[in-house]
Structure 1
Amino acid sequence: MRFLGLGFEDAVPDATTVWLFWQRLLAQGLVEVLFEQFDGYLIGAGYQANQGWLTDKSFLVGWVKQRGTQL
Protein backbone atom coordinates (compact mmCIF):
# COMPACT_ATOMS: atom_id res chain seq x y z
CA MET A 1 0.00 0.00 0.00
CA ARG A 2 2.96 2.29 0.49
CA PHE A 3 3.50 2.70 -3.27
CA LEU A 4 -0.04 4.10 -3.48
CA GLY A 5 0.63 6.55 -0.68
CA LEU A 6 -1.91 4.83 1.59
CA GLY A 7 -1.55 4.08 5.27
CA PHE A 8 -3.15 1.30 7.29
CA GLU A 9 -5.82 3.70 8.54
CA ASP A 10 -6.88 4.73 5.00
CA ALA A 11 -9.97 3.27 3.37
CA VAL A 12 -9.40 1.21 0.24
CA PRO A 13 -12.00 0.21 -2.37
CA ASP A 14 -13.51 -3.25 -2.23
CA ALA A 15 -13.47 -5.71 -5.16
CA THR A 16 -16.89 -4.61 -6.45
CA THR A 17 -15.83 -0.97 -6.61
CA VAL A 18 -12.67 -1.85 -8.53
CA TRP A 19 -14.64 -4.11 -10.91
CA LEU A 20 -17.26 -1.42 -11.58
CA PHE A 21 -14.51 1.12 -12.27
CA TRP A 22 -12.90 -1.36 -14.72
CA GLN A 23 -16.24 -1.85 -16.48
CA ARG A 24 -16.65 1.92 -16.89
CA LEU A 25 -13.16 2.16 -18.39
CA LEU A 26 -14.04 -0.64 -20.83
CA ALA A 27 -17.36 0.97 -21.78
CA GLN A 28 -15.64 4.27 -22.58
CA GLY A 29 -12.83 2.62 -24.55
CA LEU A 30 -10.16 3.89 -22.18
CA VAL A 31 -8.39 0.66 -21.22
CA GLU A 32 -6.24 0.53 -24.35
CA VAL A 33 -5.42 4.23 -24.06
CA LEU A 34 -4.31 3.82 -20.44
CA PHE A 35 -2.19 0.75 -21.20
CA GLU A 36 -0.48 2.53 -24.08
CA GLN A 37 0.33 5.43 -21.77
CA PHE A 38 1.57 3.06 -19.06
CA ASP A 39 3.71 1.22 -21.63
CA GLY A 40 5.25 4.55 -22.60
CA TYR A 41 6.18 5.22 -18.97
CA LEU A 42 7.75 1.77 -18.67
CA ILE A 43 9.81 2.19 -21.83
CA GLY A 44 10.92 5.63 -20.64
CA ALA A 45 12.10 4.07 -17.36
CA GLY A 46 14.06 1.33 -19.15
CA TYR A 47 11.58 -1.52 -18.74
CA GLN A 48 9.96 -3.65 -21.41
CA ALA A 49 6.53 -5.26 -21.15
CA ASN A 50 6.47 -8.47 -23.15
CA GLN A 51 3.43 -10.78 -23.34
CA GLY A 52 2.43 -10.46 -19.72
CA TRP A 53 5.99 -10.33 -18.41
CA LEU A 54 7.62 -7.18 -17.13
CA THR A 55 11.38 -7.40 -17.30
CA ASP A 56 14.23 -5.18 -16.29
CA LYS A 57 16.99 -6.37 -18.59
CA SER A 58 19.82 -5.77 -16.12
CA PHE A 59 18.07 -7.87 -13.49
CA LEU A 60 17.23 -10.61 -15.99
CA VAL A 61 20.83 -10.86 -17.21
CA GLY A 62 22.05 -11.19 -13.61
CA TRP A 63 19.48 -13.88 -12.87
CA VAL A 64 20.39 -15.89 -15.98
CA LYS A 65 24.08 -15.77 -15.07
CA GLN A 66 23.32 -16.88 -11.53
CA ARG A 67 21.16 -19.78 -12.73
CA GLY A 68 23.85 -20.80 -15.20
CA THR A 69 26.45 -21.19 -12.44
CA GLN A 70 24.22 -23.48 -10.40
CA LEU A 71 23.83 -26.09 -13.14
Structure 2
Amino acid sequence: MKAHVAGPILSTPAQAAGVTLAGLPPTPHPACQRHIFTAGQYPTTPQTVEQITCLDTLCDTREVVLCPLTD
Protein backbone atom coordinates (compact mmCIF):
# COMPACT_ATOMS: atom_id res chain seq x y z
CA MET A 1 0.00 0.00 0.00
CA LYS A 2 1.24 3.44 -0.79
CA ALA A 3 -0.46 6.19 1.18
CA HIS A 4 -2.69 9.18 1.18
CA VAL A 5 -1.54 11.21 -1.79
CA ALA A 6 -3.61 14.37 -1.92
CA GLY A 7 -6.68 16.20 -0.79
CA PRO A 8 -9.03 17.57 -0.09
CA ILE A 9 -10.44 17.95 -3.59
CA LEU A 10 -13.97 18.81 -2.51
CA SER A 11 -14.77 21.64 -0.13
CA THR A 12 -18.21 20.65 1.18
CA PRO A 13 -20.01 17.44 2.14
CA ALA A 14 -22.66 18.22 -0.49
CA GLN A 15 -19.99 18.10 -3.17
CA ALA A 16 -18.66 14.84 -1.77
CA ALA A 17 -22.10 13.23 -2.02
CA GLY A 18 -22.15 13.81 -5.78
CA VAL A 19 -18.52 12.98 -6.52
CA THR A 20 -17.73 11.12 -9.71
CA LEU A 21 -14.52 9.55 -10.96
CA ALA A 22 -14.34 11.80 -14.04
CA GLY A 23 -11.35 14.10 -14.09
CA LEU A 24 -9.23 12.04 -11.69
CA PRO A 25 -5.83 10.85 -12.92
CA PRO A 26 -5.60 7.42 -14.55
CA THR A 27 -5.13 4.36 -12.36
CA PRO A 28 -1.49 3.28 -11.87
CA HIS A 29 -2.07 -0.02 -13.71
CA PRO A 30 -4.81 -1.10 -16.18
CA ALA A 31 -5.94 -3.92 -13.84
CA CYS A 32 -6.48 -1.47 -10.98
CA GLN A 33 -9.90 -0.08 -10.13
CA ARG A 34 -11.01 3.16 -8.50
CA HIS A 35 -13.73 3.19 -5.85
CA ILE A 36 -15.28 5.92 -3.74
CA PHE A 37 -15.61 5.11 -0.03
CA THR A 38 -17.44 7.19 2.57
CA ALA A 39 -17.04 7.19 6.36
CA GLY A 40 -17.45 3.66 7.72
CA GLN A 41 -16.81 1.97 4.36
CA TYR A 42 -13.60 0.01 3.76
CA PRO A 43 -12.25 -2.28 1.03
CA THR A 44 -12.90 -5.97 1.69
CA THR A 45 -9.29 -6.74 0.78
CA PRO A 46 -7.14 -3.96 2.32
CA GLN A 47 -3.92 -5.54 1.03
CA THR A 48 -4.97 -4.51 -2.51
CA VAL A 49 -5.05 -0.78 -1.67
CA GLU A 50 -2.56 1.06 -3.87
CA GLN A 51 -3.50 4.68 -3.24
CA ILE A 52 -5.94 6.74 -1.13
CA THR A 53 -6.97 10.28 -2.01
CA CYS A 54 -9.10 12.31 0.42
CA LEU A 55 -11.96 14.06 -1.34
CA ASP A 56 -13.10 16.24 1.57
CA THR A 57 -11.39 18.01 4.46
CA LEU A 58 -12.13 15.29 7.04
CA CYS A 59 -11.30 12.45 4.60
CA ASP A 60 -14.79 11.05 5.16
CA THR A 61 -15.06 10.63 1.39
CA ARG A 62 -12.03 9.14 -0.29
CA GLU A 63 -11.07 7.70 -3.63
CA VAL A 64 -9.24 4.39 -3.24
CA VAL A 65 -7.28 2.66 -6.00
CA LEU A 66 -7.35 -1.13 -5.62
CA CYS A 67 -4.88 -3.26 -7.57
CA PRO A 68 -4.71 -7.05 -7.81
CA LEU A 69 -2.12 -8.82 -5.69
CA THR A 70 0.98 -9.91 -7.58
CA ASP A 71 3.85 -12.20 -6.66
TM-score range, shorter chain: under 0.3
Which has the higher relative contact order, 1 or 2, with Cα contacts under 8 A spaced 6 or more apart?
A: 2
Which of the two has higher C-alpha Rg? 1
Q: What's the TM-score, normalizing by structure 1?
A: 0.25
Q: Which has the higher helix share?
A: 1
